[in-house]
Structure 1
Amino acid sequence: MTNILFEDAKPVIKKIKEQGFEAYFVGGSVRDYLMDKDIHDIDITTSARPDEIEEMFSKTIPIGKEHGTINVLFHNKSYEITTFRTEGEYINHRKPNDVIFVRDLYEDVKRRDFTINAIAMDESYNIIDYFNGKDDIDAHNIKTVGNAVERFEEDALRIIRGLRFQSQLAFTLDNETFDGMLQQIQNIEYLSIERIIVEFKKLITGKNVAVSFKNLLTLNAFAYIPFFSHYDMRHIIIKEPLPFNLFIALIQSKLSNVNAQLAQLKISNNDKKEIQTFTQLLTVLQTINTKQELKLTIYDYGLQHNLTILSYSQTFKQNDIALPSPLIYNEQLLRQIAQEMPIKNRQELDITGKDLIDYLEQRSGPWIKDALRNIEIAVIDGNLTNYKPKILEWVKEHVKI
């Protein structure tokens, strides 16, 4: 088992304990350690209050002090340390209206979502497991801490998180936990789309996504999520993990008669741009029949986007989205075409709009964009050499204003 991060953090826990407080590793890092998985970050929970943590360590950042979390900088590393706490009544199935700091570890872990995330571990690797989370890990079982209906009523995001863990870990959902999801699924409509998307991006790339996606459909979860609620997601087939942006493009391509707005997902502009590129590319690819036609497609949309779509060709086939024949749409040929491309972008053309204006003695206008596009196509198709004198000769015969 990998324990480097725990070893590095031992002095932090020891320093807290020297002041008379309890401190433990908790949550996902402990779960992943017990599963012999790579650990990327650790969380520490303690009986010390935020003010007491700030007094102990010289370099701290109060990133979530009102909720009990202090970021401690220790030996050039950063650690999130959170005080044992319980939570007041939840508002709109999203967040508690109050946080109460306590001194008891049990009170802290019993508020957590799933037993596999409610395991604590001390600096000597002794496990404190009040809710048999280790047994559930061994049994590959996802089960809520306490009553499932209550846990999901408190925070409906736990439903999506449970399905995300099922997808990532290839665990089975406990029957009572799944029944609780069914009873509370409508409450995900109260969640912010941003919180849902964070979980969904992990879910859709999980190795067990086929099962989790089927459960999303069984729960009718998409009906309560912006953007997705416009689509009949029963028509979408997902049997392998795939990137989130490609998943959205697949939906838009297969159910193209629906005009849902990407803005509803509140994702980054870069994500929206990539989704639009994938969607347009999928449309173009359904018209490609020759290597010659493929050249311009690779030029316009890039090698990497084409390779990404190619690597998920089985998913597109299952969703009745046609790709070009494997005789021309294969990795070897895609890379060969990209390698032999005479230009990579318009900036590499040996001519500019100003050159055209001067040569043709015309005023600037929309014709320039059209002319440059026609020159691009001729160069990519191999019908024109990317050399200014040759281009100007070609322009004289082929560009109409």
Structure 2
Amino acid sequence: MNHWNQVDPLMLHQGENVLRTLLAAGHQAFFVGGCVRDELMGQPVHDLDIATSAKPEEVIALFERTVPTGIQHGTITVLMDKFAYEVTTFRKESEYEDHRHPLSVEFVDAVAEDLRRRDFTMNAIARELDGTLTDPFGGQSDIGRRILRCVGVAEERFDEDALRMMRAVRFASTFGFRPVKSLWAALLAGRDKLSYIAMERVRVELEKMVLGPDPLRGLALLQRSGLLQYAKAALLPKEEASEAEGKDGGRAYDETKVLAWRLLHRNPPRPEWLTALPLLPPDPVLRWSLLLQSLEVPGEEVSRLLKNWTFPNQIAEETAAIVRFDEAWEATKPELLEEQALRRKWIHLQIEFGRDIAQGWLRRQFALLQVSAYGDMTEQEEAERMSVALKWHQEVPVHTLSELAVSGRDVLEISGRSGGPWLGELMKRLLLHVALGELPNERQAILEYVESVVEEDGDKRAD
């Protein structure tokens, strides 16, 4: 491994400068962890982590720009040009008090001792400046054999940090590795410890798995392990809730917290939808909307459910919007409508939900077509319908009131009336007419239409 092939050249250059500075000061220094693993696997390297014998205060003294991001654990972030490098002192850790945090950290002088505390053998490899590898636990061999193995005793590694069990599932899914028997047995024996881990950290691992190249493998491993049912937001399904309530340690059913159970469902209601997941780009909104609908989570529950799992509000709301868009579209029974009526319905929905949501839904539908998940329609009929919907989507000239050639103030001036609910309703009507192409988005044309509406309204009042 004399040359890096998967790293941005500028990032590598500055990272090597960090190593040279540490070495010149008489310290040991290595690239470690995921960057070495990914280079060996031919995967893109996104950051370069460094391990060194230098103490945190010595690292700070050697570099002009540093941030004490985890100084209590020996980690200093070194800033070089536009790049950031986490530089961590060789260390070993004591017993863990909560299956997550070590009671104490002891700095050591040998890189092999530092590698011993890491989770999996593929992450316990260090690379010197000249490309020499330090691999005391056979990580390179395990990568070649495509197996996932813990450093040392698996039970001890999971007891130290219970999140490692979720990371094991994620790595097995994203890399296509096979967990060895000892790892899998330790995971099953220690899965209850996942309840100690903050839900946000569990969600991050789950999201990386769902956005990876083979999410179905990850979901299958979660099913087999039953791991998610021990996460903090995971409660029992309805049919088991009555038995659990009132018992010691029992957990009552809460409809906003059943994602874990749905993900563990061995016979998903729409299995063909799940097969389309890897065909979508790694966009959380697209993949989670399809995944949750394959498990028949209704649109009205999606946002609450994802927020309970600590997803950001924007992702939760946009995911729910795509599911509700799909529900509204299917509720129109599009197979029964003539093209013009269907076009009007499409544009109504695109205005209601927005251009981005409509576009995301279309991307999902084309992915579903690739796995023939089109319901009662023939593949050709559904493909033609989606192509027409894409054409309508692209032709809509406006989506928001701010895009109209007139404002609410313009409408008030020409109508001679004071504001009120009528104004909002009229503005929405103008937006829809322009979106449908029934009215050009031109100031004069719109104001003439407003005048006719006001005049007609006045005549009705006189009658």
Tell me the TM-score normalised to structure 1 length: 0.88
The CA deviation at 1:251 is 5.6
The residue type equivalent to 1:390 in the other structure is Y
The DSSP-based 3-state class of the residue aligned with 1:55 is helix
1:244 aligned residue (273, 284, 287): 284
The residue type equivalent to 2:258 in the other structure is H
The CA deviation at 1:271 is 2.0
**Partner deviation per Cα, 1:337-381 (whole Å, 9 max, x = no partner):** 234223232222344434444555554333332332233233333
Instruction: Please say if residues 358 and 393 of structure 2, whose CA atoms lie closer than 8 Å, have aligned partners that are also in contact.
Output: no
Q: Show the counterpart of 2:49.
A: 43
Matches within 5 A, 1:347-358: 347-358=402-413
Structure 1 residue runs of 4 or more that deviate by more than 6 Å after TM superposition: 316-324, 398-401
The residue type equivalent to 1:344 in the other structure is H
2:258 aligned residue (205, 215, 230): 230
Q: Show the counterpart of 1:267.
A: 311
Instruction: Please say if residues 252 and 258 of structure 1, whose CA atoms lie closer than 8 Å, have aligned partners that are also in contact.
Output: no
The CA deviation at 1:121 is 0.9
Q: Show the counterpart of 1:30.
A: 36
Q: Show the counterpart of 2:298.
A: 256
The CA deviation at 1:283 is 1.8
Q: Show the counterpart of 2:352.
A: 300
- Please, which runs of 5 or more residues in structure 2 have no aligned partner? 235-256, 335-341
Q: Show the counterpart of 1:114.
A: 120
The residue type equivalent to 2:92 in the other structure is T
* Deviating more after overlay: 204-213 vs 57-66: 57-66
**1:366 maps to 2:421:** yes
CA distance in 1 between counterparts of 2:220 and 2:372 reads: 15
Calculate the aligned-residue CA RMSD, in Å: 3.0
**Structure 1 137/398 Cα, relative in aligned 2: closer, same or farther at 3 Å?**
farther
The CA deviation at 1:321 is 8.6
**1:280 maps to 2:324:** yes
The CA deviation at 1:131 is 0.6
Tell me the TM-score normalised to structure 2 length: 0.77
The DSSP-based 3-state class of the residue aligned with 1:312 is helix
1:60 aligned residue (46, 66, 70): 66
Bigger fraction of residues in helix = 2
* Deviating more after overlay: 353-362 vs 91-100: 353-362
**Partner deviation per Cα, 1:122-170 (whole Å, 9 max, x = no partner):** 1110111011000111011111111112211211111111122122222
Q: Show the counterpart of 1:145.
A: 151
Q: Show the counterpart of 2:386.
A: 329
**Structure 1 213/82 Cα, relative in aligned 2: closer, same or farther at 3 Å?**
same
CA distance in 2 between counterparts of 1:184 and 1:351 reads: 64
The DSSP-based 3-state class of the residue aligned with 1:90 is coil
The CA deviation at 1:184 is 1.8
**Structure 1 397/376 Cα, relative in aligned 2: closer, same or farther at 3 Å?**
farther
The CA deviation at 1:252 is 5.2
Instruction: Please say if residues 166 and 208 of structure 1, whose CA atoms lie closer than 8 Å, have aligned partners that are also in contact.
Output: no
**Structure 1 377/396 Cα, relative in aligned 2: closer, same or farther at 3 Å?**
farther
Q: Show the counterpart of 1:177.
A: 183
**Structure 1 73/383 Cα, relative in aligned 2: closer, same or farther at 3 Å?**
closer
Instruction: Please say if residues 13 and 123 of structure 1, whose CA atoms lie closer than 8 Å, have aligned partners that are also in contact.
Output: yes
User: What percentage of residue pairs aligned between the two structures are identical?
Assistant: 29
Residues paired across the two proteins, number: 399
CA distance in 1 between counterparts of 2:437 and 2:64 reads: 67
- Please, which runs of 5 or more residues in structure 1 have no aligned partner? none
CA distance in 1 between counterparts of 2:435 and 2:455 reads: 19
